[in-house]
Amino acid sequence: MYINFWYPMAVSDELDDKPLRVRCLDQDFVVYRDSGGAARCLSNTCAHRGGSLSGGKIKGDCLQCPYHGWEFDGDGNCQRIPSLGKDAKIPSRTRIDAYPVEERHGIVFAFLGDLPEDERPPIIPVLEEGQDGWRGTVVHYHVKGNYERSVENGIDPAHNEFVHDTHGFSGENEDYNVGELRGVESDWGHGFWHTFNAPPLQAGEMKKLREQAGDMEVGTGHHGPNQVWTYIHPSPDYHFHQYLFERPIDEENIHIYLLCMRNCMLEPEHDELMNQRNKYVANQDVVIIEDLHPVLTPDTNTKEFMVPSDKCILMYRDRLREWDAKGWRIDTDEVRRNKNKVAYAIPSPARRETKGWVLDQVPLIDGSQAAAKLKVAG
């Protein structure tokens, strides 16, 4: 798991008048809405004696710890320590980590890392958002599996024929093979376009969009370690553009937010059908991902046998090594070893500006070895 990327923390509707506890990267965060309506994200651990801020109250722009009532603003600065009395000066070391937040598509994203704004990898752009002739819905669900395995499932052209009866023939197509993959590359990921033989659409109104089996255009790729785009064009005119935003709760659990933009069936009454269908397809992947062995992607590609249709998966793994080389990978073994002894925080951008923090930042794996390997590989 990596620091320095955007992670989906909640859907906007989940933020009401109470703080919300959210786990990501094996750490606890608290997400809340301040008095101006802005979503905020802080480390959940109070700098006083480790109280859980999500168990406290929202008071104006601040969150009040439930243990001794210290109040923290949305930038993580402690504004009040009741035991010191009314006008007491607040020591700066009481601050806690606060993370940049963006609310888009009805999803609250937090940037969990310490990079300055101009160096942050972006959230995947959703160009259809707000455009005439497009409409989007979001479903979200839990997966008991590893997020890298899930991303690899998303960018795998060879599973559709077998896993999804909506996209393939359940292995009954004698002439099946994975044809040409037309690669696409971006600053933060790899993907491909692919033409494959798909069955007609069956569900309700969607039947009209694709009445016969035949060639279908699909594009898919990853963006960063935890986002996937999948463009499905059942016919030249009808397009479904899907975006998966994955929140690694820890290495063995994920919460996935699936945004599906469509340029057809634009009336709100079709939202339910879309969501049902997306959940149906997602569940088919979930069954596979939850039962993979080992749970995590192996350390070396030789521990699985790769074939040409796995090309994008190999490229995804190469990208992960690049982020290893930057030193962004969390030392999860060390975090787990110290689980009951050390409260860690993901470093926030303010740690680059100021010293003196109560909580240690999560241990990161030194990137120099990964960097040397990349250099040798050219």
Rounded distance, CA 172 to CA 170, Å? 6
H-helix segments, the chain: 147-154, 160-163, 271-289, 311-325, 332-337, 368-377
- Residue that the structure tokens 């986002």 belong to: 227
Choose, by CB under 6 A, the member of 16, 38, 49, 336 that binds ligand FES: 49
Buried b (16+ CB within 10 A) or exposed e, 363-377: bbbebeebeeeeeee
- Total residue count of the chain as it appears in this document: 378
Query: Is residue 48 a contact point for ligand FES (CB under 6 A)?
Result: yes
Selection from 51, 55, 10 nearest residue 31 by Cα: 10
Contacts with ligand FES by CB under 6 A: the residue count is 9
Calpha distance 244→254 (Å, rounded)? 12
Which residue lies nearer to ligand FES by CB, 203 or 342? 342
> CB 57 → ligand FES: shortest distance, Å?
12
Q: Does 68 bind ligand FES (CB under 6 A)?
A: yes
Rounded least distance, CB 363 to ligand FES, Å: 24
Compute the distance between CA of residue 146 and CA of residue 75 in angstroms, rounded to an integer.
31
Q: Distance (Å, rounded) from C-alpha 153 to C-alpha 159? A: 8
* Residue 68 interacts with, from ligand FES, Fe ion, none (CB under 5-8 Å by kind): ligand FES
Contact between 285 and Fe ion by CB under 5 A: the answer reads yes
What is the amino acid identity at position 227?
Q
Closer residue to ligand FES (CB): 48 or 104: 48
Window of 15-23, 61-69, 132-140, 257-265 that interacts with ligand FES by CB under 6 A:
61-69
Using the minimum distance from each CB to ligand FES, give the nearer residue, 273 or 343: 343
- Per DSSP, the three-state class of 146 is coil
Q: How far is the CB of 210 from ligand FES (least distance, A)?
A: 57
70 binds ligand FES (CB under 6 A): yes
State yes or no: residue 19 binds ligand FES (CB under 6 A). Answer: no
Q: Which does 285 bind (CB under 5 to 8 A by kind): Fe ion, ligand FES, none?
A: Fe ion
Token pair 């190999």 in the structure block, residue: 314
State in angstroms the smallest separation of the CB of 289 from Fe ion: 9
Structure tokens at 341: 């002894």
Listed ranges 33-41, 47-55, 172-180, 347-355: which one lies at the site for ligand FES (CB under 6 A): 47-55
Beta carbon nearer to ligand FES, 47 or 261: 47
Concatenated DSSP letters of 154-166:
HT-TTSHHHH-TT
Give min distance, CB of 114 to ligand FES, in A: 24
SS3 for 63? strand
State yes or no: residue 51 binds ligand FES (CB under 6 A).
yes
Cross-strand partners of 42: 30, 98
80 lies in the site for ligand FES, by CB under 6 A: no
Beta strand 101-104 pairing with 107-112? antiparallel
Q: How distant, in Å, are the alpha carbons of 39, 100, 137, 219, 283 from that of 61?
A: 10, 16, 30, 43, 39
**Interface with ligand FES by CB under 6 A: which range of 42-50, 106-114, 199-207, 316-324?**
42-50
Site string for ligand FES, 87-116 (x = CB under 6 A): ------------------------------
Residues that bind Fe ion (CB under 5 A): 285
Residues that bind ligand FES (CB under 6 A): 46, 48-49, 51, 65, 67-70
